[in-house]
Structure 1
């Protein structure tokens, strides 16, 4: 489970002040023609109004102005022309029976337009009720649109990604900005293992496109205390495989990693809370500093290897995984976030290299979770180690669209990575989100929280044309990454090492398709970085470079990063 905290409520609407004389080319409704309620009255004393007057007297309870407007189904920006003798005015605007919008706005003595709402108004008649400490000249609305996200490059961090992982990633790219995939995080205790997914289906008649599951109880320190995740992976694999309608589900796996050792295991901090910083004294930075052979370093490897056994089951079943380990690190809630950003990045890369290079797991699409910090990018593992950037966000406001978080992630990562709402305690209106250009790759409601969402809202979102559910998924295995079609020798970066085996230096040979910066990393089989050679910017064409072999005999993994291309090789050293 995540931490419990009171988070700031995101503002539903920003009120923008527009210059006087704004365009009135769109539908315009004079206030004096609207229904006047209570003390509302038409006046003409203030200069600069349009039509035959303006409306005053809507400040007291029970006083209001009601416009009846016809709409064509567009997403529109609703504006009022207002004036007051004070510098600020307060107001409430309600569209039909929707939640009222109340705020303050700067005003002047001359009528000026303010934006009070942005809504998709269904075709037909609507009532817009206005109450406030200003005078109203007219209401107008006009269609408005927001651009969707830029689609990132069709490149996975793992150059050896399996065909099914490539196909799933290609599908996600293709749908980005077109649809938002539905996901539901399920429980990690109790039975059945899909209880929360089943709840969503019972309410909405729809099955989420993505099932979110947690490898938490496969952590060795939990098993030591009696954790028994019998056949969980097999159950999740069964859920993902083709159903009676011929549709496959998409799997999202995370790992609340119980600390490998040093659990307090007290009444206040029992062993099963061992993934929290407050429940363990385990210092992963010290463990990393030990290196291979160190007791705690080897425990890190033991745990990663245990999870690799489970991930291998998914690869054996040809099921690609949206893999989200080590989440929310910069918040410090979990032990993997209790040290520095640099330490965390080293741990992430150890997990990455151990799973991909040592265990040859290539069915993983790596999802990193952004968390606010004084320097959040110090916690970013790097483009070569991340495929999707996610945000976990919990709010006290059930109507929040999480706009600020979307914009933040778009600014920081939008050109390079898909952006996803990887956890939430509420469910934003996805139609409204899409209208505003907020196109998460997928949303994922945390287990149990979906039961707090009103059934009509949950159903409306799951049946939205913007949202994809399992029954609506195409055969995503037919999708092809642009870079994966008809691979060329240049795209594959053929890598040769000679002599190999070697007792000294070896020569690296490869072909570069363009002028790029080249780095050569050598890892031992535990995933530890042994050496790094920065070859600098190299011209296109054949490249030969001497690589210094490690001093100890053994088998090593060589990773060459050339621009946005990566290649791997193995080097055997005999001394």
Structure 2
């Protein structure tokens, strides 16, 4: 008989806190839970703010997917605390793929209880529907010719790979619809060759597949994924980490699995910090739980996730309790992820009018042109059709029959805005926050005026969230 999904109610539920309150939480944990919708940007911001002071506890729940919280339950039995991060698996055997819905239901429960949600995917070779771990994932190396085909758009293996991604989209979409950001870790430990996706350095190697994965899932509208890039602490490998890094626009969190040495050497710690370029870093898999003193010695790790059966096989109860009871470690009920409004649905339907910003100026379509690629800029308000925007019930913002669009599906700071045919992509989704910020969830960045300039024809861009006046916007009432 398939086990029932484990559920529980959080003892104390608090309303969503504004981002300003997160800094307070980083030093004074309080009972709370993440019951509302959130965004990748809110999760990333929170992880950045606790880094250096606190770390979120986590436990992975590997197969079978029919019992998707068995190790989380064990952790509670041993420590008296529910881990602050729940790790799940998308599965590779036929039985587990058939139980993905069970796993997704559990992910929703864990989020509602106040835990972050992380998903790992041990994916079979792209030319195999389902598989066993040995032979289908481990030891299933592709030839150089097959790898070239995999990374070439339109080639057979490339199409098979995207079809395999398609199999996960409906499940990830459910989490998006529920407002749940997912710490998504594809092609983990890519700097080692045990899996078919790993061990290929360079621009056309393992990092290229990560980029393909990112771009394809983003094109499917999955703007709720926090992209976690991952390597393993292989001997002598710290110096080569950058040759596996897909680039800042593809990575939200840089992570390490310290299986070789159990705890990262200073060389590895610094290597991950260096490649992360200021992004959060994490211990995505550990066997032995880090001690409080270890965590204090490398304070930037934002979370650790104990790997399933290692919870008991590699740890003592006393060791687990010492870490989970540390003032540095945040478990469920001791932190709140800031929540935000999902794609805007104005009361009573769509609203049309001017969008005003810094200096009282209006968001404007250059020369009132409806041509694709026309710049969207700041300009004196004049009541023209070029400044009449409809904030739709579908998350779009439209003028002149076209959509406000992030150029080239870009996610990097400074990417310019334009007018473009409405196409349902994440580049055209916008979410209004209560303090006037306007977020593009796909990028996790915000509508911004470069340098706060109030000069006419200043072209608008997306940029990291900040408290400057030039990220405050007033939508049509």
Residue of 46, 67, 91 corresponding to 1:216: 91
- Higher percent of residues as helix: 2
| Greater RCO, CA 8 A, separation 6+ | 2
Q: 1:420 to 1:226 in 2, by over 3 A?
A: closer
> Does residue 1:558 correspond to 2:408, yes or no?
yes
- Aligned pairs for 1:83-98 within 5 A: none
Does the CA-based 8 Å contact 2:203-2:243 persist in structure 1? Answer: yes
- In the other structure, the counterpart of 1:410 is 273
Distance in 2, matches of 1:386 and 1:493, equals 30
Q: Equivalent of 1:251, from 95, 109, 117?
A: 117
What is the rounded CA distance, in whole Å, between the counterparts of 1:487 and 1:439 in structure 2? 39
TM-fit CA distance, 1:473: 1.7
Q: Residue 73 of structure 2: SS of its match in structure 1?
A: helix
Q: In the aligned structure 2, how far is the partner of 1:498 from the partner of 1:353?
A: 31
Q: 1:260 aligns with which of 109, 122, 126?
A: 126
1:303 aligns to what SS in structure 2? helix
Structure 1 residues 572 and 393, CA, compared in 2 at 3 Å: closer, same or farther? same
Residue 379 (structure 1) shift:
1.5
For 2:137, which of 260, 268, 275 is the aligned residue?
Answer: 275
Report the CA distance shift for 1:312/1:181 in structure 2 as closer, same or farther (over 3 A).
same
Aligned residues of 2:60 and 2:307 also touching (Cα < 8 A)? yes
- Contact 2:374 2:419 survives alignment (8 Å): no
Structure 1: gaps of 5 or more residues: 1-150, 152-161, 480-485, 514-555
Could you tell me how far 1:450 is from its partner in structure 2?
Answer: 1.2
2: distance between equivalents of 1:273 and 1:495? 56
Conservation of the 8 A alpha-carbon contact between 2:51 and 2:299: no
Deviation at 1:359, TM superposition (A): 1.2
Helix, strand or coil at the partner of 1:252? strand
Match of residue 359 from structure 1: 220
- The answer as to whether partners of 1:176 and 1:441 remain within 8 angstroms in 2 is yes
How far apart, in 1, do the equivalents of 2:246 and 2:375 lie?
28
Matched, 1:450 2:311: yes
CA contact (8 A) 1:331 1:373 kept: no
Q: Distance in 1 between matches of 2:199 and 2:129?
A: 15
Q: What is the SS of the residue equivalent to 1:336? A: coil
Runs of 5+ consecutive residues of structure 2 not aligned to the other structure: 1-25, 27-36, 342-354, 380-405, 424-477
CA distance, structure 1, for counterparts of residue 125 and residue 90 of structure 2: 13
Cα 1:509–1:569 change in 2 (3 A) is: closer
Q: CA–CA distance in 1 between the matches of 2:105 and 2:409?
A: 35
Count how many residue pairs are aligned between Structure 1 and Structure 2.
Answer: 340
Greater strand percent: which structure?
A: 1
Q: How does 1:271-310 map to 2 (within 5 A)?
A: 273-278=135-140, 283-289=146-152, 291-292=153-154, 294-310=155-171
Partner Cα distance (1:329, 1:226) in 2: 23
Q: Which residue of 1 aligns with 2:251?
A: 386
> Are 2:191 and 2:244, in contact at CA under 8 Å, matched by a contact in 1?
yes
1:222-273 deviations in Å (ceiling 9; x for gaps): 44x9852252333323432434xxxx211011111111116997xxxx5664
TM-score between the two structures when normalised by the length of structure 1: 0.52
Answer yes or no: is 1:187 the counterpart of 2:62. yes
Residues 282-328 of structure 1: CA distance to partner in whole angstroms, max 9, x if unpaired? 93322222x22x32221111111112221101111111111111111
Mark the CA change 1:188 to 1:498 in structure 2 (over 3 Å): closer, same or farther.
farther
Aligned partner (choices 210, 233, 249) of residue 348 of structure 1 = 210
1:212/1:252 contact within 8 Å kept: yes
The 1:557/1:307 distance shift into structure 2, 3 A limit, reads: farther
1:456 Cα deviation after fit: 0.4
Partner of 2:395: none
Mapped contact 1:263–1:279 kept (Cα < 8 A): no
How far apart are residue 376 of structure 1 and its match?
2.4
Is 1:207 aligned to residue 82 of structure 2? Answer: yes
- Aligned match of 1:459: 321
Give 1:448 shift: 0.9
Cα distance, 1:473–1:214 mapped onto 2, change above 3 Å: same
Q: Does structure 1 residue 237 correspond to structure 2 residue 103?
A: no
Q: Any conservation in 2 of the 1:406–1:438 contact (CA below 8 Å)?
A: no
SS at match of 1:368: strand
Using a 3 Å threshold, how does the CA distance of structure 1 residues 494 and 314 change in structure 2: closer, same or farther? Answer: farther
When the two chains are superposed, the root-mean-square deviation of aligned CA atoms in Å is 3.8
Distance 1:339 1:497, change over 3 A: farther
